[in-house]
Chain A
Amino acid sequence: MAKITYIEFDGTRHEVDVASGLNVMEGAVKNLIPGIDADCGGACACATCHVYVDPDWQEKTGTPGEMELSMLDFAEDVQKTSRLSCQIEVDDTLDGLIIRLPETQG
């Protein structure tokens, strides 16, 4: 279990508990946080769950895999902290994680 804060583009904050084993995309969808479409349901096939990981959390969330990196290359407004949230698995070490959402999903 980890407490994750999702911050919408307009600044709205959502602090929710996400069970270990789920991914960061599912944490948002299950808690009805707007801004993540996740059309493919987490198969790393659509690039509509793009988020920014707070820089302090980048190390703990790991580095994107090859497939994810190539998908991100085509998302909009990509930054150094960009990730596909379906590819970040939640565990206890992510307690306190801060995720920012982009203005639109590509």
Chain B
Amino acid sequence: MASGDQAQGEAQETYIVIGAGHAAGQAAVTLRSKGFKGRLILIGEESYAPYQRPALSKAFLSGDLALDRLYFKPPDYYAKNDIELLLDTTVTQLDRNRKTVTLDDGRVISYDKALLTTGSRIRAIPLPGVDLPGVLYLRTIDDVEGIRAYCTKGAKIVIVGGGYIGLEVAASTKKLGLDVTVLEAESRVMARAVGREVSDFFESLHAEEGVTIKTGQAVSALEGVGKLERVVCADGSVWQADIAVIGVGIVPNQELAREAGLAVDNGIVVDTSCRTQDPDIFAAGDCTNHPNGVYGRRLRLESVHNALEQAKTAAAAMCGILTEYNQVPWFWSDQYDVKLQIAGLSQGYDQIVLRGDPSARKFAAFYLKEGVLIATDAINAVPEYMVSRKLIAAHARIAPERLADMSIPMKSMAE
């Protein structure tokens, strides 16, 4: 803890958080709870106080969750805790020599310490017709409200990209009664994140729910007069569409850091305590490239868990308390009655082991690399997921036949 003198010094300091997403919200909470009493400013480009993004493509799009339930903290939290929220505001420059940030309205604010929680933005694709009304992306509350305006029963939606976002949008809009088609350029859905067996499961799941999924379909143009009317693929196939939602990934918002001379390499480079090479600048969340001791390599993660944990770590570091963020990443996706929970990262696996019955919508896929469990996709299979988080952290070696044996409880796998 800071000594009395330090705390007094800090009371006159200004900490600026650039970005107002999940990581920013958590960082503000942690800074105040760790005793930072100085001026605290969160600057966000959107019109909203920090909110929970994961629900956007799920319960918020399907109408099951109202806007006021998305917020990370209640609206009066910030004023009550003397946190200034500058919304609808973009930071145009970070000047490390002067220790100032410049805002889009020309204002210049001095900082003692700055935290970059700039997040990520949608990957735009330069297709002909992408600017037509009816062609949308999904990243923000406003994006979802734009999409919902088109979601009338029976409307035809074509989703470009069969990753998590694309498939969640498919499930949510199917629930709203739309006629849903997903076009994926790769030979299978979620190819970047999961193994073939899991891709096969999700393709069958969506087909059973009445969604058309076409793989190996590279979209070449979006066409229509004055508004979107059809989506055209490279093989000449044409899909009628009232709305198209493009979900082909996100990219880190690292330009501000790069222009300030900070190291960026697929994300803003930080250490395990979320420090950049500038002792007064920290970074957390989707925008960072950080070391991960579990996998022994640097990662850039797009996840809430990472945003929250890095925010706590960075805020502590700003208060002079150095901790290390080194955890097994986890993710989840909701589609229809299926909850997919993912522990770890499967990249580089050499063996996949299934446990349970995909046709019963309840199974797990374990990913092994040289005999060591590195990731698990659990479909309505909580024990498999929860135990895996521990096993992956421990670099556990478990015989594939044991993992596959449903007569052996997951809890005893760790023994």
B-binding residues in A (CB < 8 A): 22, 26, 29-32, 39-41, 43-47, 67, 70-71, 73-74
Write the nearest CB–CB distance from A91 to chain B, whole angstroms: 16
In the complex with contacts A32-B77, A67-B339, A67-B380, A41-B52 CB distance below 8 A: yes
Contact B52 A39 (CB under 8 A): no
Distance of A30 Cα from B80 Cα, bound (Å): 13
Contact B73 A32 (CB under 8 A): yes
A-binding residues in B (CB < 8 A): 52, 54-55, 58-59, 69, 73-74, 77, 304-305, 308, 330, 332, 334, 339, 341, 380, 382-383, 386-387, 411
Write the nearest CB–CB distance from A39 to chain B, whole angstroms: 6
Contact B386 A45 (CB under 8 A): no
B residues near A47, Cβ cutoff 8 Å: 386
With most chain B CB atoms within 10 A of its CB, the pick from A32, A43, A74 is A43
A residues near B304, Cβ cutoff 8 Å: 39-41
Distance of A22 Cα from B7 Cα, bound (Å): 38
Contact B339 A45 (CB under 8 A): yes
In the complex with contacts A32-B77, A41-B304, A44-B339, A74-B55 CB distance below 8 A: no
B residues near A40, Cβ cutoff 8 Å: 54, 304, 332
In the complex with contacts A26-B69, A40-B304, A43-B54, A70-B382 CB distance below 8 A: yes
Write the nearest CB–CB distance from A22 to chain B, whole angstroms: 7
A residues near B74, Cβ cutoff 8 Å: 30-32
Q: What are the 4 A-B residue pairs with the smallest beta carbon separation, nearest first?
A: A70-B382, A74-B386, A45-B332, A41-B52
A residues near B386, Cβ cutoff 8 Å: 47, 70-71, 73-74
B residues near A67, Cβ cutoff 8 Å: 339, 380, 382
Write the nearest CB–CB distance from B373 to chain A, whole angstroms: 17
Contact B305 A39 (CB under 8 A): yes
A residues near B55, Cβ cutoff 8 Å: 41, 43
Distance of A27 Cα from B39 Cα, bound (Å): 28
Contact A39 B308 (CB under 8 A): yes
A residues near B387, Cβ cutoff 8 Å: 74
**B382 to A, closest residue via Cβ:** A70
**A29 to B, closest residue via Cβ:** B73
- Would you give 9 A-B contacts (Cβ < 8 Å), ordered by A? A40-B304, A41-B304, A43-B59, A43-B334, A45-B341, A46-B305, A67-B382, A70-B382, A73-B382
Distance of A70 Cα from B410 Cα, bound (Å): 11
Write the nearest CB–CB distance from A43 to chain B, whole angstroms: 6
A residues near B54, Cβ cutoff 8 Å: 40-41, 43
Distance of A30 Cα from B75 Cα, bound (Å): 9
Distance of A46 Cα from B304 Cα, bound (Å): 11
Distance of A73 Cα from B411 Cα, bound (Å): 10
**A19 to B, closest residue via Cβ:** B68
Distance of A47 Cα from B390 Cα, bound (Å): 14
Contact A73 B383 (CB under 8 A): yes
B residues near A30, Cβ cutoff 8 Å: 73-74
In the complex with contacts A32-B73, A32-B74, A43-B383 CB distance below 8 A: no
Distance of A70 Cα from B384 Cα, bound (Å): 10
Which of B59, B69, B380, B383 lies in contact with A74, CB distance below 8 A?
B383
A residues near B382, Cβ cutoff 8 Å: 67, 70-71, 73-74
Distance of A30 Cα from B52 Cα, bound (Å): 14
A residues near B59, Cβ cutoff 8 Å: 43
Distance of A32 Cα from B341 Cα, bound (Å): 28
Which of B69, B330, B339 lies in contact with A22, CB distance below 8 A?
B69
**A69 to B, closest residue via Cβ:** B382
B residues near A71, Cβ cutoff 8 Å: 382, 386
Other than the given A26-B69, A74-B382, 8 more pairs (CB < 8 A) read A30-B73, A32-B73, A41-B54, A41-B304, A43-B55, A46-B305, A67-B382, A74-B383
**A73 to B, closest residue via Cβ:** B383
Distance of A31 Cα from B230 Cα, bound (Å): 48
Distance of A13 Cα from B386 Cα, bound (Å): 31
Contact A43 B308 (CB under 8 A): no
B residues near A31, Cβ cutoff 8 Å: 74
Distance of A43 Cα from B77 Cα, bound (Å): 23
**B307 to A, closest residue via Cβ:** A39
**A106 to B, closest residue via Cβ:** B386
Write the nearest CB–CB distance from B283 to chain A, whole angstroms: 20
